Amino acid sequence: MKVSFPHMGNAYIALSSLLSNLGAEVIVPPRPTRKTIDIGALHAPEFVCLPFKVNLGDNLRSLQMGADTLAMVSGMWACRFGYYGRVQHQILRDAGFEFDSILLGRDGIGYVYNKFRPTVEGNLTLGWFRAFRHFKRKAEAVDKLEIKSRQIRPFEGRRGSTSRALTEGLSLIHEAPSLEQIDAALSGALGLLEDVELDRDREEPLRIAVLGEIYAVLEPSLNFDIERRLGEMGVMSYPVMSVYKWLFRPLKTDPRITIDEYRARRIAKPYIAYVLGGEEHQTIAGTINAARSGYDGVLHLYPFTCMPENICRTILPRIESEFDIPVLNLCLDEHASPTGVATRLEAFVDLLRQRRRKRPPARIMKARS
Amino acid sequence: MVKVGIPRALSYYRYFPFWKSLLEGLGAEVVVSRHTGKHLLEDGVRHCVDDICVPVKLFYGHVLDLVDKVDYLFISRLVSVEKGEGDTYTCPKLIGLPDMIKSSLSGLPPIIDFVVDVQNMPLKSSAKRLAGSFGVTGARAKRALGGALEVERLYQAELLNGVPPEEAIEAVLSNGGGNGSGSRAGPERTGGGDLNIALVGHEYLVFDPFISNNLPRKLERLGANVSFITQVPSAVVEEELARYPGISWSYEKELLGAASHFLSRDDIDGVMLVIGFACGPDSIISEIITREVRTEKSPPLMTLVLDEHTGEAGVATRVEAFVDLIRRSRTRTTAPDPN
């Protein structure tokens, strides 16, 4: 079984570990580029949201690389994400590809569980257990690296050195086959980041919370690598969501994530009374929290026509004025250009710098993990 | 008397008779916004997020039209509208509609946020809560609800007969109940034209003469009998849906079921799928209809995307071309071979 799945940030590291431990041959498509998005947009419905098009482009690449099974997760609420796999796979079949689908979330747990019976050696439950441990360990390791790189990037002496160290570290983790080697790879990767030359004399960097639709926040090909861009402009960025949170939220194995979700829903309740199915509660609560903990600004990212985030986009101006925090809304689609995004980011950062000069941060925020 | 405003958009086409008679039973006067026009739509677009769907932009326009005329604004929050197996819900924008309006428009009259969430709360409780906020309780509230449900039942019966919503509303609200005959009817009963075309799309697009550029009339003028999804009984929709499981959006399920029904009928010559630009659920469901439902034997299927810039001429051209093609393919199949 040659399994493949679409990209989302660095999720591929944990996911390919899960699948390869289940005995499947994993085909990781190349990281999406503008070309991938163009190919996806060509085959996708006209005004479906952008992640759909990127995923479709990824799937096409995977099939060209010889994948015979495509895996996809499905959301379960009113958001379109719940129908991605079904429609994408139909589009690909209509285009003449033959493959097997694994739709996690729609097909039911039992189906997916048994799917790997032929590939797992020995006991199936033990196989899943082993695969899950590797999956979790890698996801945690990636999360730690991402957090570390975020903290040092605004201070790096040579521009780009953090990102280079991070890429190298991530590939160490990706290649580590066993639990012990993952741990060793993690400490090696952290060491690489430690070695990045820092210029600690710089002024306190601006702090910007990055939030919005999860794929737009986490996928560098879609948001023009916004985290890196901000870091290299000397800005500390705090994504409200992470790949780790996204992977483990539905599994409910980590109480911190469950509590965080619960709190976010409670904070967002006066603004959005019902569940909409996306990250709307994290967007609203994230903005309010950012204001309360003294961030300089909020960057709200969402793909064109995203339903839950469009509702947030309508509500955010009110929060912006009620809580006195600047918010930049960036709507991303296949026509967005890096220059356009860069111009708006630079203008936003300039405004925030001026604002801070007039009004130094009152409270020093606690470092967030 | 308290004046309550109901915008003539979105759920208006489905529930207006119910709300009107309920509110009047509770002692309120109901004011409806004007019909959609150029200025009303422009107002809506100006106050709305750029990339939201057309129907919501229209809704904004209708809300703004009411602002100075009423004491309360009635905005429905449709969370779930079917009580069946499994989770069903409506589009996120219908769920978050009052939140959006409250947060983005200033100087609004107080909003009556009427929640329809039949999976978790019976409609009766929602109505009771509404009655409570008007200070009406007990037998009078019960009577108002009973009357409203009866009016809604008559309204749905009219729709089933092929009467367009505006006319059906007039019929059931003016004489306290329709006679079931309707002033205009679908192809089953008139048979005036030589073509039968089915329009599959949300009511708030198809039946808003401004945004749809008077699509049903246009088709009739071209000699077609028009069928609407409101004419497909829910039992038929359910039956069709058994073949396409896994959709949880209630209104889109209706579209899918109706489309499947029309596409499998022999007497339908063409199906037009009418969708609004940037509509989330429609972008998925239209893809499912064209890829899973349509077969080689189905009648021609055309997708018409409507947005606030759609020009009348553009729609007219496409509709005429569609009708012409259907007629031409018919003459080709029925005319004897010249050779």
Cβ(B5)–Cβ(B74) below 8 Å: yes
pLDDT given at position A249: 87
Closest residue, chain A, to B51 (C-alpha): A305
Cβ(B24)–Cβ(B50) below 8 Å: no
Q: B249: which DSSP letter?
A: B
Instruction: Read off the pTM.
Output: 0.90
pLDDT given at position B318: 93
Give the minimum alpha-carbon distance from B88 to chain A in angstroms, rounded to a whole number. Answer: 8
Closest residue, chain B, to A272 (C-alpha): B99
Give which of B47, B52, B95 to mutate to test A binding, by max A Cβ within 10 Å. Answer: B95
pLDDT given at position B337: 56
Query: Mean pLDDT across chain B, nearest whole number?
Result: 88
Residue contact B89–A79, C-beta within 8 A: no
B107 to chain A: which residues are within 8 Å by CB?
none
Residue contact B77–A273, C-beta within 8 A: yes
Dump pLDDT digits (tens) for A13-72: 999 999 999 999 999 999 999 899 999 999 999 889 899 999 999 999 999 999 999 999
Instruction: Return d(Cα B86, Cα B82) in angstroms, integer.
Output: 10
B87 to chain A: which residues are within 8 Å by CB?
76-77
Closest CA to B218 of B131, B139, B322, B90: B322
Give the rounded percent of residues in chain B with a pLDDT score beyond 70. 93
Residue contact A315–B103, C-beta within 8 A: yes
Residue contact A47–B286, C-beta within 8 A: no
Least confident range from A206-215, A360-369, B209-218: namely A360-369
Angle at A145 between CA A139 and CA A149, to 5 degrees: 145
Give which of A311, A315, A318 to mutate to test B binding, by max B Cβ within 10 Å. Answer: A311
Exposure class string for B245-277: b at 16+ Cβ within 10 A, else e: eebbbbbbbbbbbbbbbbbeeeebbbbbbbbbb
pLDDT given at position A76: 65
A47 vs B79, B92, B283: nearest CB: B283
Residue contact A307–B92, C-beta within 8 A: yes
B291 vs A94, A308, A310: nearest CB: A94
Give the minimum alpha-carbon distance from A57 to chain B in angstroms, rounded to a whole number. Answer: 17
B window 270-299, beta carbon within 8 A of A: 277-281, 283-284, 286-288, 291-292
B305 to chain A: which residues are within 8 Å by CB?
46-47
Q: Which CATH number fits domain A2-119: 3.90.1150, 3.30.450, 3.30.1380, 3.40.50?
A: 3.40.50
Instruction: Return d(Cα A28, Cα A8) in angstroms, integer.
Output: 12
* Helix/strand/coil for A4: strand
Q: How many residues can be counted in chain B? A: 339
Residue A362 scores a pLDDT above 90? no
Residue contact B280–A272, C-beta within 8 A: no
- Continuous H helices in chain B: 12-25, 38-46, 54-66, 92-95, 97-104, 123-133, 138-160, 165-174, 203-206, 215-221, 234-241, 250-263, 280-288, 312-334
pLDDT given at position A367: 44
Closest residue, chain A, to B289 (C-alpha): A87
Asked if B324 is an interface residue toward chain A (Cβ–Cβ < 8 A), one would say no
Cβ(B178)–Cβ(B167) below 8 Å: no
Give the model's confidence band at B50: pLDDT under 50 very low, under 70 low, under 90 confident, else very high. Answer: confident
Dump pLDDT digits (tens) for A79-113: 888 889 889 999 999 999 999 999 887 667 888 88
Q: Which CATH number fits domain A204-369: 2.40.50.140, 3.40.50.11900, 3.40.50.2000, 2.102.10.10?
A: 3.40.50.11900
Domain ranges of chain B: 2-174, 195-334
pLDDT given at position B312: 87
Asked if B309 is an interface residue toward chain A (Cβ–Cβ < 8 A), one would say no
Q: Containing H/E element for A237? A: strand A235-239
Asked if A328 is an interface residue toward chain B (Cβ–Cβ < 8 A), one would say no
Taking residues B245-272, report their average pLDDT: 91
Q: Containing H/E element for A290? A: helix A280-292
Q: How many residues can be counted in chain A? A: 369
Dump pLDDT digits (tens) for A217-253: 999 989 999 999 999 999 999 999 899 998 898 888 8
Q: What amino acid is encoded at A44 in this protein?
A: A
Exposure class string for B165-181: b at 16+ Cβ within 10 A, else e: bbbbbebbbeeebbeee
Residue A359 scores a pLDDT above 90? no
pLDDT given at position A369: 39
Report ipTM (2 d.p.): 0.87
Residue contact A305–B287, C-beta within 8 A: no
Closest residue, chain B, to A321 (C-alpha): B103
Dump pLDDT digits (tens) for A142-161: 999 999 999 999 999 999 99
Asked if A335 is an interface residue toward chain B (Cβ–Cβ < 8 A), one would say no
pLDDT given at position B332: 75
pLDDT given at position B175: 62
Instruction: Return d(Cα B79, Cα B101) in angstroms, integer.
Output: 16
Instruction: Return d(Cα A171, Cα A145) in angstroms, integer.
Output: 11
pLDDT given at position B245: 84
The residues near A367 (Cβ < 8 Å, ≥ 6 apart) are none
The residues near A177 (Cβ < 8 Å, ≥ 6 apart) are none
A window 10-69, beta carbon within 8 A of B: 45-49
Give the minimum alpha-carbon distance from A52 to chain B in angstroms, rounded to a whole number. Answer: 10
Residue contact B283–A77, C-beta within 8 A: no
Residue contact A307–B280, C-beta within 8 A: yes
Residue A75 scores a pLDDT above 60? yes
HSE on the CB side for A286, CA within 13 Å? 28
Cβ(B209)–Cβ(B186) below 8 Å: no
B51 vs A80, A83, A305: nearest CB: A305
Q: Which residue has better confidence, A351 or B188?
A: A351
Dump pLDDT digits (tens) for B72-118: 999 999 998 888 777 788 899 999 999 999 998 988 999 999 999 98
Asked if A95 is an interface residue toward chain B (Cβ–Cβ < 8 A), one would say no
Residue A258 vs residues A246, A250, A278: alpha-carbon distances, Å: 11, 9, 16
Closest CA to A187 of A198, A173, A167: A173
Residue contact A274–B279, C-beta within 8 A: no
Give the rounded percent of residues in chain A with a pLDDT score beyond 90. 74
Query: Domain B195-334, CATH 1.20.120 — does that match?
Result: no
Residue contact A271–B87, C-beta within 8 A: no
Contact pairs from chain A to chain B, CB under 8 Å: 110
Dump pLDDT digits (tens) for A128-140: 999 999 999 999 9
A87 vs B99, B103, B287: nearest CB: B287
Residue B334 scores a pLDDT above 80? no
pLDDT given at position B239: 92
Phi, psi of A158 (to 5 degrees): -105, 125
Asked if B253 is an interface residue toward chain A (Cβ–Cβ < 8 A), one would say no
Asked if A343 is an interface residue toward chain B (Cβ–Cβ < 8 A), one would say no
